[in-house]
Amino acid sequence: MSPSIPQEARRLISAHIPTVPHLEALVLARSDPARAWSASELADRLYIRSETAASILADLMQSGLLASASIDPMTARYATANATVDAAVSQLVEFYAHQVVEVTRLIHAHDVSAVQRLADAFRLGRRR
């Protein structure tokens, strides 16, 4: 039996990590906090489209996990809002390094439940 994901890491995923590429971008940015990442650089490293990478950067900046780099507002670097969030990110990154499947299942389960809630909302709307 694999260990369960720590509660703080679960909360972080639930609140700020909607997809695996979001997590991969966060892991990459955290690995070199001084480096500013552009959408095209992130896209190249994660094998995703530049538009997707730009959206991920924007999402993570809005969540307070990345900050806009001073040299170019279209680039971002790792910078959490506070020490508590930084500790949760560290915990998540460490767990993810050893339990990839467990973390990705949680992300996908969260994604599926959001889709299910949307589908349920439409279903409920038709019954009225």
Q: What percent of the chain has pLDDT over 70?
A: 84
- Write the CA distances from 50 to 5, 41, 43, 83, 119, integer angstroms: 31, 8, 5, 30, 29
* Dist. CA 78–CA 37, nearest whole Å: 9
pLDDT in tens, 22-42: 999 999 999 999 999 999 999
Give the structural domain span for 68: 7-127
CATH number where 92 lies: 1.10.10.10
pLDDT in tens, 111-122: 544 444 444 455
How many whole angstroms separate alpha carbon 105 and alpha carbon 88? 18
Residue 76 lies in a domain: yes
12-45 b/e with 16+ CB inside 10 Å = b? bbeebbbbbbbbbbbbbbbeeeeebbbbeebbee
Number of structural domains found in the chain: 1
